[in-house]
Amino acid sequence: MKLHNRLQIGRAVWEDSPAMLLDVKNISLSFGGVHALSDVSFHVKEAELFSIIGPNGAGKTSMLNCISGRYVPGKGSIKFGDTELIGLKPNHRADLGIGRTFQNLALFDHMSVLDNILVGRHHLMKNNFLTGMLYWIGGAQEEELEHRREVEEIIDFLEIQHIRNAVAGTLSYGLRKRVELARAIALRPKLVLLDEPMAGMNMEEKEDMARFVVDLNEEWGMTVIMIEHDMGVVMDISHRVMVLDFGAKVVDGLPDEVLANEHVQRAYLGADFEEIA
């Protein structure tokens, strides 16, 4: 996958950006006696493509769940811009501009691809119980057209025009992952959390997904936090990488810096290290 030139351009953009979008400080999370996260701190700047790696059970998905609001940490702070996220419900975090995909597919299998993506626009709709009647008399049709225009742009971007009316549950795994990404970005988030977006894909599907993730970051201006086990992809497209192990941060830095870390080479890369390097 030859994305190195684009990576250098994208890295220059976020390095020049003074704005910190996400600031995670001293997050700890426990389930009974199990410490899923222990005093983890990191930050993500605007326009950054930031990856989290580590073995199974390292706390990667738990961290995304703390950011998106599915889990409430026992300690620490998570600031999104100037807003403290701890204490906010997941839908309020979505309203602020945080979208996500899941490690296990969470599509509505009985609905069409188009309708699944439209679900992602729900937080942007203006109607409510009190104003519903006036809304439908006045602006409903215009708003629906706008939402559909946005969805059609996403469908074109992810190259899924040919399945736009297909029932989601009938699609291949790779296409369903692409539809889930479409739904996550349908609200045009400032930050999108991707939990193993390339898991279970063949090489061609991975290359397509990696290209879409890079385009989201560079062309659409979305900040990305990605969990991914394919080290070749991670090191190829990420601006910075953080390594977790048993819920604790081992290191974070530029991909080359992380690759050079002896702990990372020994514990996570192993035989694959020479091939990646």
Q: Can you give the pLDDT at residue 263?
A: 81
Which residues form the domain of 94?
4-16+44-71+90-276
Q: Can you give the pLDDT at residue 277?
A: 45
Residue 192 counted as domain residue: yes
Res. 121: pLDDT tops 90: no
Q: Which residues contact 201 (CB under 8 A, 6 or more apart)?
A: 173, 174, 177, 209
Percent of the chain surpassing pLDDT 90 = 61
Res. 272: pLDDT tops 90: no
Rounded Cα distance, 120 and 95, in Å:
11
What mean pLDDT value characterizes the chain? 85
pLDDT per residue as tens digits for the range 63-77: 999 999 999 999 999
pLDDT band at 120 (very low <50, low <70, confident <90, very high): confident
Tokens, residue 63: 């961290």
Residue 113 counted as domain residue: yes
pLDDT band at 134 (very low <50, low <70, confident <90, very high): very low
Yes or no: say if 69 and 53 are a contact pair by the CB < 8 Å rule: no
**Helix (H) / strand (E) containing 96:** helix 90-96
Yes or no: say if 235 and 255 are a contact pair by the CB < 8 Å rule: yes
pLDDT per residue as tens digits for the range 225-245: 999 989 889 999 999 999 999
Rounded Cα distance, 159 and 64, in Å:
27
Residue 32 counted as domain residue: no
Residue 77 counted as domain residue: no
Rounded Cα distance, 48 and 45, in Å:
6
Residue 85 counted as domain residue: no
Q: Can you give the pLDDT at residue 271?
A: 44
Q: Can you give the pLDDT at residue 72?
A: 96
Residue 24 counted as domain residue: no
Residue 222 counted as domain residue: yes
What is the tally of structural domains in the chain?
1
pLDDT band at 187 (very low <50, low <70, confident <90, very high): confident
pLDDT per residue as tens digits for the range 22-44: 999 999 999 988 999 999 999 99
Q: Can you give the pLDDT at residue 213?
A: 97
Rounded Cα distance, 168 and 149, in Å:
20
Q: Can you give the pLDDT at residue 13?
A: 56
pLDDT band at 275 (very low <50, low <70, confident <90, very high): very low
- The CATH number covering residue 105 comes to 3.40.50.300
Residue 260 counted as domain residue: yes
This prediction has a pTM of 0.86
